[in-house]
């Protein structure tokens, strides 16, 4: 039986949730993924889903640490980065924790930094599950990529 994840929305395939569970991920769209492959790095985006994201403001790449429990109330849930449109793919890049360890702020360290540095309540952070990679993340630190065209998904190789 596949491992479940408490707090995962019921519309997500249980096998996909199990595949993502326990790992460190960067989620992006197809256009950004193509740029990542071209550059060889996940870069801090000039434009992001949330212009007021804390990670972006400190020059970091936002990551989801699905090795941590989902903190309630789930109003800023990681699953929002999975498109529910089968024509729009999401790309989830698994980050190798060991290779990237020196540049990673885990959810607790990131939240502590947010508490010290936030300049406004409008600065967004997904407390308890969001991690950060300070600076560009080399593609060599990515273990695998999961392409999601909801409800289908597949593990793909990097070119």
Q: Would you give the distance in Å from CA 67 to the centre of its chain?
A: 12
- pLDDT tens-place string over residues 130-146: 999 999 999 999 999 99
144 contact partners, CB below 8 Å, separation of at least 6: 93, 94, 155
Is the pTM higher than 0.85?
yes
Q: Would residue 109 be called left, alpha or beta, if left means φ above 0 and alpha means ψ between -120 and 50 degrees?
A: alpha
Residue 70 has pLDDT above 90, yes or no: no
Structure tokens at 95: 């980050």
* H or E element, residue 29: strand 24-29
- pLDDT tens-place string over residues 18-39: 999 999 999 999 999 999 999 9
Residue 1 has pLDDT above 50, yes or no: no
Q: What is the C-alpha to C-alpha distance for residues 56 and 33, in angstroms, rounded to an integer? A: 17
Neighbours of 153 (CB within 10 A): 20
- Domains, the chain, with CATH or none: 14-156 (3.20.170.20)
Q: Judge residue 144's burial from the number of C-beta atoms within 10 Å of its C-beta, 0-12 exposed, 13-18 middle, 19 or more buried.
A: middle
């Amino acid at each position: 039986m596949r491992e479940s994840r408490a707090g995962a929305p019921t519309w997500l395939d249980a096998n996909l949730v199990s595949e993502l569970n326990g790992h460190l991920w960067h989620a992006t769209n197809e256009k950004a993924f193509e740029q990542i492959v071209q550059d060889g790095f996940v870069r801090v985006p000039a434009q992001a889903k949330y212009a007021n994201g804390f990670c972006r403001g400190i020059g970091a790449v936002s990551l989801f640490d699905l090795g941590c429990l989902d903190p309630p109330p789930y109003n800023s849930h990681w699953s929002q980065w999975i498109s529910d449109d089968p024509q729009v793919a999401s790309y989830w890049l698994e980050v190798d924790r060991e290779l990237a360890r020196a540049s990673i702020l885990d959810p607790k360290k990131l939240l502590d930094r947010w508490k010290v540095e936030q300049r406004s309540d409008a600065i967004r952070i997904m407390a308890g599950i969001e991690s950060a990679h300070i600076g560009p993340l080399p593609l060599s630190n990515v273990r695998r990529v999961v392409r999601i065209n909801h409800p289908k998904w597949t593990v793909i190789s990097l070119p």
